[in-house]
Amino acid sequence: MKPKEVLAYCREKNVKAIDLRFMDFPGVWQHFTIPVGKLNEDVFEDGLGFDGSSIRGWQAINESDMIVVPQAETAVLDPFAAIPTLSLICNIQDPITREDYSRDPRNIARKAVNYLKSSGIADTCFIGPEAEFFVFDDVRFDQNAHEGYYHVDSGEAEWNRGRDEKPNLGYKLRHKEGYFPVPPSDQLMDVRNEMMHTMIECGLDVEAQHHEVATGGQCEIDLKFQDLVRMADSICHYKYIVKNTARKHGKTVTFMPKPLYGDNGSGMHVHLSLWKNNEPLFAGGGYAGLSDMGLHAIGGLLRHAPALCALTNPTTNSYKRLVPGYEAPVNLAYSQRNRSAACRIPMYSSSPKAKRVEFRCPDPSCNPYLAFAAMLMAVIDGVQNKYHPGPPLDKDIYDLPPEELARVPKAPGSLDEALSNLERDHEFLLRGDVFTQDVIATWIDYKRKREVDALRLRPHPYEFCLYYDI
């Protein structure tokens, strides 16, 4: 839609409020709301002011004024608001220079796409993420000077087989056996169907929904691939819809990568392909039907994966998932069909249009704008410098002999390690002024102070199990 069309749509749908939304630096949607009468065509050009110093990782208090500029093409009726409300995703600008803000994640994603076009390599990057999440019935957690704990619960979880539920009807999902059972074992089908239907009403192109591997309510809803910025916008709507639909049913959703010990964590495998003039560029006569460009794209992803993880797996909890034994891609290798490799080439279809690369490291705690942009920059670097990924690894990596496994590069083992890798390897992100040095430095500083150090300084409950009686 264009601004005039948005205003006409508001009149048609009797919209009463306009919700202006944008992504903060770590990756959480923010918003404020104005009466519909305050929205006019000038607002789409001039924007509206707000306090940028109150947004995590953004402006200092002495330079706090910022502007949100609504983007008409992102208009969606909010399916949860009590009065008719239209949501608009916004870009962020400096009020004095009117330049797009360097730390606005959506701006970074837009710059990555523009850099791709200017490189001449391709004109479109299609992204298809598979975001997993848990739906719990109850969650409690706290951490203070004298205690630290968490408690999550799910009516379908294995640990509730013996609970007195008056009556307990059984049908609890065993650990690692949640993939595809029908109801009544799958107790969340109706909730996921409502999530799926709401997404479709909001303009998202949903391909499928299903229960995932873990017990305790792990789910996945897949979206059809879209261009990079539009897909990042869609992931914002995706999370909003999933969380609010669950809340309607008295349930709660988390996109934490590893909320349960001893079962699979939640990943966000990302399918990526480059196109030019409506023609796919990754299809060819090489390994797994890939072109040289497709292989070089994998080479870029694998070469920069240790640094990419600081953006695609950006929480301390991310590295509770990236461990062997839970289908997590800790080994930086590539293969066709093999899900134990960090990069997989799906073989579902022989059509050149279906040829793509799946990067399996990312998880849904990431900021989608930053993660997708960083992945694209690694791919561009691989293509420009013709990085070959070496021979594929078509064996089950987890069954390799120790001496052979030791030769396979590994993903970082912690957020701190990933941030150190990003410190050493980020020049590829700076090209085309996509990520700026200020963005990289602020990201590393924020993550170390607010998350790495915050966790490092606090006693862990399991340390009491290990050490209390020393």
Model confidence over 190-231: pLDDT tens digits? 999 999 999 999 999 999 999 999 999 999 999 999 999 999
Tell me the CA distances in angstroms from 213 to 255, 267, 330, 415, 444, one per residue in order.
15, 11, 18, 25, 33
Active-site entry in 104, 130, 222, 381: 130
Cis peptide before 184 (omega within 30 of 0): yes
The whole-number pLDDT of residue 149 equals 95
Helix axes 105-119, 368-384, angle to 10 degrees: 20
* Residues 41, 47: Cα–Cα separation, whole Å: 10
Q: Is 73 a catalytic residue?
A: no
- 358 assigned to active site: yes
Q: Which listed residue (78, 104, 132, 156) is catalytic?
A: 132
Helices and strands, counts by H and E, the chain: 14, 18
Taking the CA atoms of 152, 155, 158 and 160 in sequence, report the sign of the dihedral they define: positive
Q: Is the pTM of this model over 0.85?
A: yes
Catalytic residue among 269, 296, 304, 344, which?
Answer: 269
Cβ neighbours of residue 456 closer than 8 Å, sequence gap 6 or more: none
Is 130 a residue of the active site?
Answer: yes
> 356 an active-site residue?
no
Closest alpha carbon to 290 in 302, 276, 274: 274
132 belongs to the catalytic site = yes
Task: Say which of 104, 158, 212, 416 is annotated catalytic.
Answer: 212
Q: Which residue in the list 339, 425, 431, 448 is annotated as catalytic?
A: 339
Dump strand ranges (E) for 144-188: 148-153
Q: Is residue 349 classed as helix, strand or coil in its secondary structure?
A: coil
Which is catalytic among the residues 237, 344, 360, 426?
360
**269 noted as active-site residue:** yes
3-class DSSP state of 73: helix
Task: State pLDDT tens for residues 348-373.
Answer: 878 989 999 999 999 999 999 999 99
Q: Is 220 a catalytic residue?
A: yes
Q: Residue 217: which of 248, 181, 269, 165 has the closest Cα?
A: 181
Q: Are residues 95 and 63 in contact, defined by beta-carbon separation less than 8 angstroms? A: no
Q: What b/e readout covers 209-221, taking b as 16+ CB neighbours within 10 angstroms?
A: bebbbbbbbbbbb
What is the C-alpha R_g of the chain? 23
Please indicate whether residue 147 is annotated as part of the active site: no
**Nearest residue to 21 via CA among 106, 112, 130, 109:** 106
Of 284, 369, 388, residue with least CA distance to 28 = 369
Asked if 407 is an active-site residue, the reply is: no
Given a contact cutoff of 8 angstroms between Cβ atoms, the answer to whether 220 and 195 are in contact is no
Q: Say if residue 429 is exposed, middle or buried (CB neighbours under 10 Å; 0-12, 13-18, 19+).
A: buried
> Which residue positions in the chain have pLDDT lower than 50?
none
At 246 the pLDDT is 98
